[in-house]
Amino acid sequence: MNIDNLNWHDGVLIETSFYIDKKGQSKLVVIADFYSNEDSKKRSKYKISCEGVVKCNLSLDAVELRDNMFAGNISNGYLKTKTFWLYFTDGVLEVTAQDFDVVQC
């Protein structure tokens, strides 16, 4: 699966993590629940890995994320020219990286 195939609307952010390994390679991981399509009744968990991160910006409103977990606190996401954008209720993640991978957990 790739980023373009995810059904972003009403997704739920579970976790974000950023780290640099011993070789200096940086990685950002987003774990979130998404509906498989607009008619789905249940969300499934996905892991989005951003490898070789060049830059990232993350701005979140924890109260808004919590208050919108049931309905969904992710509104949209897309990849454009090696930059991944993920929009939350009152927040955004912007990641420029060399490679992006999506797997269902």
Tens digit of pLDDT for each residue in 50-70?
Answer: 999 999 999 999 999 999 999
SS3 42: coil
Phi, psi dihedral angles at 63 (to 5 degrees): -65, -45
- pLDDT-derived band at 35, boundaries 50, 70, 90: very high
Range of the domain at 73: 3-104
Number of structural domains (the chain) is: 1
Q: Which residues contact 61 (CB under 8 A, 6 or more apart)?
A: 88, 89, 90, 91
Choose among 21, 22, 25, 18: nearest CA to 56. Answer: 18
Predicted model pTM: 0.93
